[in-house]
Chain A
Amino acid sequence: MNIGLPGAGVGGLFYLSCTLVMPFKELFLTLTKPGHKFRYKLVATQLSIAFGIVGGLFLVYKLISGLFGLSFSPMQSVSDESAWLYSLLPIFVSFGLLVVILSLLELAAFFMKKGKRLVVKK
Chain B
Amino acid sequence: MVPVIKENDSATSVAQKKYPVTVIVPAYNEADCIADTVNSLLVQSFLPEEIIVIDDGSTDNTAEICRSLGVTVLTPPENTGSKAGAQNYALSHINSEFTLAIDADTTLKEDGLEKLFGAMDDPDVVAACGFVIPQKVSTLWERGRYVEYLMAFTFYKEIQEYYEKPLISSGCFSLFRTEYLQQNNGWSLRTMAEDMDLTWTAYQLGKKVRFIPSAVCYPIEPHNFHFMNKQLKRWAHGFIQNVRLHWKGIMHVPFLRSIVMVMCWDASIASIFYLTAIPILAVMVSPLFLLGYIIDLPMVLVPTLVKAYSRGETLKALCSIPAFLVLRVVNSAIFLKALFEELVLKRTLTTYEKGH
Task: Give me the interface of A with B, judged by CB distance under 8 Å.
Answer: 1-12, 14-15, 18-19, 22, 42, 45-46, 48-49, 52-53, 55-57, 59-60, 64, 68, 70, 98, 101-102, 105, 108-109, 112-113, 116
Contact = CB atoms under 8 A, between A and B. Distances in A.
Contacts of A9: 262, 265-266, 269-270
Nearest to B273: A9
Given A5-B271, A56-B298, A46 B159 contact: yes
A5 B262 contact: no
Interface string B247-289: 0100110100111011101111111001000000000000010
B302 interface: yes
A105 B257 contact: yes
B258 A105 contact: yes
A5 B328 contact: yes
Contacts of A49: 154-155, 302-303, 306
Nearest to B196: A1
A7 B159 contact: no
B262 A4 contact: no
Interface residues of B, number: 55
- Chain B binding surface SS class: helix
B28 interface: no
Contacts of B37: none
B162 A42 contact: yes
Contacts of A60: 294-295, 297-298
A87 to B, nearest CB: 13
A57 B66 CA distance: 50
Contacts of A52: 298, 302, 306
For the complex of A and B, list the 4 residue pairs with the smallest distance between their C-beta atoms, beginning with the closest. Answer: A4-B267, A56-B298, A9-B270, A9-B266
Nearest to B236: A3
B151 to A, nearest CB: 7
Contacts of B159: 15, 18-19, 22, 46
B301 interface: yes
